[in-house]
Structure 1
C-alpha cells in the first residue's frame, strides 16, 4: 500500500493562504517581547510602584538620620586659630624675615628726585633719594640734603604714579625734610613707626631705598651702635644721637626707612661713613631715630 506524501509547511503556502483571503493563524505562544517592553510592563505593575515608593522613603529616612546624628561643628576659638597657624608654619616654607619686613614697608617707600638745584634748567636731575610716607594724606619724610634748594621735586610712589611735592617742614640739625605730595594715589599706605627706646646693638634691621637710583632695593644687617655722631664731608652740621647700622647703604638710600623685622620704621637713613672720596658703602651707615623724624613732621612723640 502506498504511503501518502506529507509536505512541510512553507512560506509559499502561507503566502498562498494570504492571497486566498484567509488570515494567517497566529502562534499560540503569543507575540515576542523585547527588553524595553518587558521593563515597561514591570514598571507599570502595582508592585513596581510600591517598590519605588519604598526606596524613596528609605533614602529620605537615611538623610534624616544623618542630619540628626551628625556632630555639631566645634566653635572657632583663638586656640584653634593658633593651632592652625602653627600647623601652617610647620608645613610651609616661608620667606625670610627680611623679605617679610620689606613687603610690609614697600607700599610706603617713595623715590624722590630733585631738579634744578645747581642749574637754571628745571629738567636737569640733580639727585635721587628716598622717602617714606608717614601720613596717608601724602606727608613724606626724607633727608634735607636730598631736596635742599631744588626748584622742583618729583615723587614716584609704589604703584608707579608720580606727583610733584613741596617742602613743608625742615629740621636742619637732623638733616630732615618733610614733603607734601600734590597728587595722592588712591589707597596710599603710611608706614608704621616704632620707638627706639628698646633698640639694642645686634638687633636685625633692614634698609630700603634707591641706591644709585636703583630700586626699591633691600639690604639687611644689624644695629651696630647707638648714640653716634656723624658729619658728612659736604655737610655743615654734625648730626648727633644716630643709629649706627651695617645694612648696605649707598647714595640714593638717603631719606629711606630703616626698619625692624616687623616692618616698623625706627630711623631715617641719613649718611654713610667712608674714609675715601668714593661715596660707597664700607660697612657703617647712620640713621636719624624716628622720634626726631616724627617731631620734624609735627607728630606727637611715642
Structure 2
C-alpha cells in the first residue's frame, strides 16, 4: 500500500522549551506576517526615515556654505568710516598746498569786469572831413538797462560816443546827465547785451586810509586792465594843470592809473564800487602816474543819476 505524501511545514521548527517544574506551558504564538519592530527581512531596503535624514544633511551643508560666503563677503567689503574734523582739516591743508587760489585783487577785478566798458568820444578833424578820436576812457554800468557813469572830460565835445561792453558788443551812447563840479557824465547805451550786469555800489563812510582797492579801466586804451593799491587819503582836493578843473572831497589812492583810466571804477576787494577814477597828479608835462590818483566818491557819482543816497 502506497505511503501518504508528507509535506514539510513552512513554519520554522520550534524547539520545545525545557519543562519547568510546576509552570504551565505557554501557548505557542500565532503565526503572523508582521515582522517584529526594528528588524528588516533579508534583502529589504531602507524606508522614508533615512531619506529624510539625508535631505536634512544636505540642507545643513547648504546653510553652512551660505554662512561661509556671507562671512567672506563681509570681510572683503570696505567699511565706511565716519569723517572727522581732522579729516576735513587734512583735506583743506592738502588743497591749499597743491592749489594756488586767486589773489583778493584778482577776485575783485573779476567781479567788476562784466560792468566795465570802454568809452570813446569821436569828433571831426580840423578840416571837418574825417572822424577822429577825441578821448578814450572807461565807464561802469550802474543800471542794467545801460546807464553808465564816466568822466565828463572823456566825452565832452564829442559828436559821437561809443561804448564797448565786456562781451565785445559795441554800440553808440548819448549823454543823459552831467555833473561838471565832479567831472561826471551819465551815458545811456542805445543797445545792451541780454546778460548785462550792473556794478554793486558801496558807501565810503567806512572807508579808511590803508584799505585795499583796485582800479579797473583802459589805460592808454589797453584793457580792461587792473591795478591794486590802497586808499592813501580822503577828502582831498585837485586842480588840473590848466586850472580848468577844481575838484574836492576826493579819494586819494596809489593803485596805478593813467590816461584812459578816467571814468573807471575804484573798487574794494569785495568788488564793490566806492569811487570813479577821475584824475592823476603829476607835476611834470608827462602826465603819467607817479603814485597819486584821485577818485570821486560814489555818493557824489550816484547823485548824478538821481540815485538814492546810501
Q: TM-score, normalised to structure 1's length?
A: 0.72
Residue 114 of structure 2 aligns to a residue whose secondary structure is helix
Instruction: Kindly report the root-mean-square deviation, in angstroms, between the aligned alpha carbons of the 2 structures.
Output: 3.3
Counterparts in 2 of 1:1-302, with a 5 A limit?
90-91=96-97, 92-116=99-123, 119=126, 120-121=128-129, 123-234=131-242, 236-302=244-310
Q: Deviations over 1:8-44 (max 9, x none)?
A: xxxxxxxxxxxxxxxxxxxxxxxxxxxxxxxxxxxxx
Deviation, 1:143, is 0.3
Residue 124 of structure 1 aligns to a residue whose secondary structure is strand
- Measured in 2, the distance between the counterparts of 1:171 and 1:153 equals 18
- Measured in 1, the distance between the counterparts of 2:155 and 2:101 equals 39
Contact 2:230 2:255 (8 Å CA) reproduced: yes
Q: Where in structure 1 are there 5+ consecutive unaligned residues? A: 1-46, 74-78
Q: Where in structure 2 are there 5+ consecutive unaligned residues? A: 1-57
Deviation, 1:277, is 1.6
Number of residue pairs matched by the alignment? 246
Higher helix share: 1
Against the structure 1 CA distance between its residues 85 and 224, is the aligned structure 2 distance closer, same or farther, given a 3 Å change threshold? Answer: farther
For structure 1, which segment, 87-96 or 187-196, has the greater mean C-alpha deviation from structure 2 after superposition? 87-96
For structure 1, which segment, 119-128 or 200-209, has the greater mean C-alpha deviation from structure 2 after superposition? 119-128
Contact 1:133 1:140 (8 Å CA) reproduced: yes
Q: Deviations over 1:48-75 (max 9, x none)?
A: xxx9xx98xx78xx79xx9xx98999xx
Against the structure 1 CA distance between its residues 264 and 123, is the aligned structure 2 distance closer, same or farther, given a 3 Å change threshold? Answer: same
Q: Deviations over 1:221-254 (max 9, x none)?
A: 1111100011212453411100001111111000
Contact 1:115 1:122 (8 Å CA) reproduced: no
